[in-house]
Amino acid sequence: MSCALCDAPGGEALWQDDFCRVVLVADTPAYPGFCRVILNRHVKEMTDLPPPERMRLMDAVWKTEQAVRDVMQPDKINLASLGNVVPHLHWHVVPRFLHDPHFPNPIWGQALREPAMQQASGLAALLRQRLRQA
């Protein structure tokens, strides 16, 4: 069975260890700072993990959220773990801004306006540095 998150990084690597990785999602230019926290082994659901590993993964999600908040200062952060298309455990950490194309709706719905932001040059380096500090 082929899995997009087993077979590829899932974005530009910002931080990783033997358990999980944090990547900057490149295929969403209207959402700069959109990150994924991806478990390094193929697991479908949070409850498939033993409780200490659940906490370890969520700690990475919370540290990623804080790094994105520190660097980008968004109006809101959305956290989501869907996995309907790619059933590999991963969390989306999405900085939201009042002027983004979908706000206040989820980013996977119909856009309400044209994108106003693009991925800034140097953003990956700033997020990488902040994650290392966390």
Q: Which residue, 57, 64, 63, 52, is CA-closest to 41?
A: 57
The pLDDT of residue 74: 96
Does the structural domain 4-133 have CATH classification 3.50.50.100? no
pLDDT along the chain (134 residues), means of 10: 90 96 88 95 97 98 97 96 92 95 89 75 87 88
Residues 6+ apart with CB under 8 A from 58: none
Which residue reads 């530009």 in tokens? 12
User: How many whole angstroms separate alpha carbon 88 and alpha carbon 51?
Assistant: 18
pTM above 0.85, yes or no: yes
Nearest residue to 28 via CA among 92, 104, 82, 83: 92
Domain definitions of the chain by residue range: 4-133
Can you tell me whether residue 16 is helix, strand or coil?
Answer: strand
Q: What pLDDT does 118 receive?
A: 62
